[in-house]
Amino acid sequence: MCGICGLASSVGAVDPGRLDAMSRTLVHRGPDSDGTWLGDGVGLAARRLSIIDLETGDQPLANEDGTVHVVQNGELLNYRELRRELEGEGHRFSTGGDTEVLAHLYEREGLGFAALLRGMFAVALWDSRRSRLVLARDRFGIKPLVYRADRGEFAFASDLRALPRGEIDLEALESFLAFNSIPAPLTIFREVRKLPPGHLLIWEGGEHRLERYARPAPVAADEVRTDDDAELLEELRARLRDSVRAHLVSDVPVGVLLSGGVDSSLLAALAAEEVSGPLRTFSIGFEERSFDELGNARLVAERYGTAHRELVLRPDAASLLPALAEAFDEPFADSSALPTYLVSELAARDVKVALSGEGGDELFGGYYTYAADLLALRVGRLARLAGPLVELLPSSSGRASFDFRAKRFVRAAHLPPLERHHGWKEIFSPDARAELTGRRCAFDPVDLLRVRFAETEGAELLARLQDVDLGLYLPDDLLTKTDRASMAHSLEVRVPFLDPAVSAFALGLPTRHKVRGLRKKVLLRRAAAPLLPRRIVRGKKRGFSIPAAAWLRGDLQGFARDVLSPERQARLGFFRPRVLGGLLDDHVAGREDRSRQLWGLLAFTLWHERHVERTPSALSRSRLPEVLVER
């Protein structure tokens, strides 16, 4: 695992001082060592977190004759098999790690090299024979890569903080207000773009182009798996076991981030059966009972005899929000980033690598929204009639409260499938965005979802909606959250559910094996049943979520009023202070749960103050604050 960056120029030599400065901003991603390579009109740099081949794996690396140089952020699960093939063909290696394989594989395959990789990666290769720079990002977007092209010069990095600031992209801001995250290829800066998952970028002669090399997608409706249930269960357990085993390969200790839900619990169970000593597990809980999942996590820890550590987060966690804004290089407002940030800090005390359950919900049907998608097909029109009564329900501060879900359901149930699916999760509607900003943007962020949805025509409806989440919500929210929160503490997080061996299986399943009525992750829960306590297998969806609604009506209210005050917002110039005050008043009075909107506005303001109003510095490792109690 590393942080990578680089420069290429068609108009002269690159500035080594600038390359070094870019590399220094990424020290949190690779505190163990650093390296640079300068060529004719190109420079590559890497900061290394040593996981595999601790002695000889420093980057950049090259092939035998130095015509291909490479840097990589990630881990390749199949590098040993690829290396054996390449050695059999006469390629000679000087290191024992996975990065050098990329240079030799590119020699053999050219631009086809990325399609043969199993793992998570963001790669940069310089081909000196062709004077060509090639970037590649893994098929699910587990690892980040951003770039900036400007008048014959090209720059790339793992983090936005390594690239020059620019103008705020109003389309990106519009997307942030709709999703609480910013979808690829957009970034918050107009001049910088994200390389989308499953894509290559080729730069040569001062110009660049993008090519898609991989696109995981659901099978056609008439091609779904029809195997016997027992066979599917056995195959799923075998594929998951193989993935977990592959993700445990490391020359340093590996742990599991254990939320108490079925996904992370299943990973912990399978990992515990593979390691020689006690598996290390890490959890976080809350003083608010409806959000505290430590009991479930302890059940798994006790069953498998793990070396378990846990934290309890108190309501005065507002002191952590500025640190969180510092860790994220663009506005990000999934509130579960806070516990993910903290549990990563806890894990980083003991291990350098941890497994996490991202991808399980999108692949196997774990969200309430999927049940709502199917329910709306039957009762959508009737739900709209019930709307006036549902709107009278008082707003609760509880987790996934009935009033919140009921209001979301009746407001969107009558819409077409994709718009309905987005409606369950929408942060600010187009009208609300216009009222908040004082402008109506011609750009519709939902068009990004529509493009993805159109690509899977012919698949089952639920599978198409899952695929929209797999292509946008997963990489741009969940994987972004996990990457930034963990790398802030120099912790590598691996996601076994996104192994192609597992994802290909899930993408072939029919709806009945994912969602039936209000039951979710049907097949996955059955596969987990022999390995986990019944309470977890049959329990509600779990995750590192927080009691944001209660906090914003309580201890966090004063902090929110300060951050969203007219004085501070006038300095930003993006939002109408009167509208902000009304949102907070509505929430505090219990008229409506506005916690997700308010969290987004807090996140944007704090980010802007740290990344725009001043130049962000390199991240430094923090210690657990007093708002936490370790048990």
Q: Concatenated DSSP letters for 261-300?
A: SHHHHHHHHHHHTTSSSPPEEEEEEESSGGG--HHHHHHH
Contact between 67 and 23 (Cβ < 8 Å): no
162-181 as b/e, with b when 16 or more CB fall inside 10 Å? Answer: bbeebebbeebbbbbbbbbb
Closest CA to 509 of 219, 228, 140: 219
Q: Give the Cα separation of 531 and 546 in Å (integer).
A: 27
Angle at 142 between CA 138 and CA 144, to 5 degrees: 85
Helix (H, G, I), strand (E, B) or coil at 369: helix
- Looking at residue 34, its amino acid is D
- Looking at residue 487, its amino acid is M
Contact between 161 and 99 (Cβ < 8 Å): no
CB proximity list for 9: less than 8 A, separation 6 or greater: 41, 42, 152, 153, 154
Angle at 106 between CA 102 and CA 110, to 5 degrees: 155
Query: How do the residues of the chain divide into helix, strand and coil, expressed in percent and rounded to 5?
Result: 45, 15, 35
* Residue 441 bears catalytic tag: no
CB proximity list for 204: less than 8 A, separation 6 or greater: 130, 131, 132, 133
Q: Concatenated DSSP letters for 475-539?
A: IIIIHHHHHHHHHTTT-EEE-GGGSHHHHHHHTT--GGGTEETTEESHHHHHHHTTTS-HHHHTS
Q: How far is CA 420 from CA 63, 213, 380, 404, 470, in A?
A: 51, 31, 10, 16, 17
Q: How far is CA 199 from CA 130, 214, 455, 505, in A?
A: 20, 7, 16, 22
Which of 2, 279, 509, 536 is labelled catalytic? 2
Active site residues: 2
